[in-house]
């Protein structure tokens, strides 16, 4: 690799301390490096470095920082390496104390690349598409407005499946199975798999469980009528971002995205080993 782009979460990397250390080292090795604060517009990447020039993106912060970068640059197909400066890092593989050795292996091309499935979601309000976005972890519908449960009508490939009376619904990728979905009782799935998981959030029934679908399935979630034929409100988010307000009759269509996130793997550590280490620390 010759050209690197650093995206830094300045809440974690104060004054860009580690970013500048990394840039200085890469420059000393004859590499090109550009630093971008996470809060800067993504157009900085387009203006400073062309797609052909960027070999790898280093993301400093935590999983949340990498998730946002993956969504912003989904169409670029540039591989990411996450450097964890947070608490738990399933996506951010490298710890701060191991940065130098990781950079040496990148320069020597001693790494592999994993492709992670992403979701594509289209939000329809009053019958019109108002938002289309992608997510690496999950697309989540949550109740909004009055603090009461909402009826979510679920259709799979155009066929009605069930109505869930719940606080919300999570549709996650295998990568997202260790995130919000896990907290809501969903299964843990190997991140390189291709499938969709649907998990109700605090369902008002004793027999609601997560459901696993093929990666080729298409899911539609419609906001049902409120109690006494009233109007319910919900909010849909993509990886915890881009909140779009919805109401009774509106829906979101979710499917596997044509885009993937490419993750650079430095350590030949299995997913099970990473999972065991993270669970023992949580």
Residues catalogued as catalytic: 63
- 207's CB contacts (< 8 A; 6+ apart) are none
CA-to-CA dists, residue 240 to 138, 170, 188, angstroms: 8, 11, 19
What is the Cα–Cα distance from 126 to 210, expressed in whole angstroms?
Answer: 29
**Closest alpha carbon to 119 in 177, 190, 42, 201:** 177
**Beta bridge partners of residue 214, listed in sequence order:** 195
* Beta-sheet strand order (sheet of 241-247): 211-214, 195-201, 168-172, 138-144, 233-238, 241-247
């Amino acid at each position: 690799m010759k050209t690197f782009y650093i995206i830094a979460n300045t809440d974690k990397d104060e004054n860009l301390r580690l970013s500048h250390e990394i840039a200085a080292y890469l420059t000393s090795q004859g590499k090109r490096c550009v630093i971008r604060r996470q809060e800067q517009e993504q157009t900085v990447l387009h203006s400073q470095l062309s797609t052909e020039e960027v070999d790898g993106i280093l993301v400093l912060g935590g999983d949340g920082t990498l998730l946002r970068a993956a969504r912003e640059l989904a169409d670029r197909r540039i591989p990411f390496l996450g450097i964890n400066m947070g608490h738990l890092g399933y996506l951010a593989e490298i710890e701060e104390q191991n940065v130098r050795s990781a950079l040496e292996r990148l320069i020597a091309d001693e790494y592999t690349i994993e492709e992670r499935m992403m979701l594509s979601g289209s939000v329809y309000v009053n019958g019109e598409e108002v938002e289309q976005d992608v997510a690496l972890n999950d697309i989540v519908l949550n109740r909004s407005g009055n603090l009461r449960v909402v009826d979510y009508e679920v259709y799979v490939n155009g066929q009605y499946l069930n109505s869930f009376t719940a606080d919300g619904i999570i549709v996650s990728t295998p990568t997202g199975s260790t995130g919000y979905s896990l907290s809501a009782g969903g299964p843990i799935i190997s991140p390189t798999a291709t499938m969709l998981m649907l998990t109700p959030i605090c369902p008002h029934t004793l027999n609601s469980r997560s459901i696993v679908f093929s990666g080729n399935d298409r899911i539609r979630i419609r906001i049902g009528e409120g109690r006494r034929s009233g109007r319910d409100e919900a909010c849909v988010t993509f990886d915890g971002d881009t909140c779009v307000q919805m109401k009774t009759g509106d829906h979101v269509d979710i499917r596997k995205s044509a885009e993937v996130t490419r993750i650079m793997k430095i350590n030949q550590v299995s997913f099970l080993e990473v999972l065991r280490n993270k669970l023992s620390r949580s």
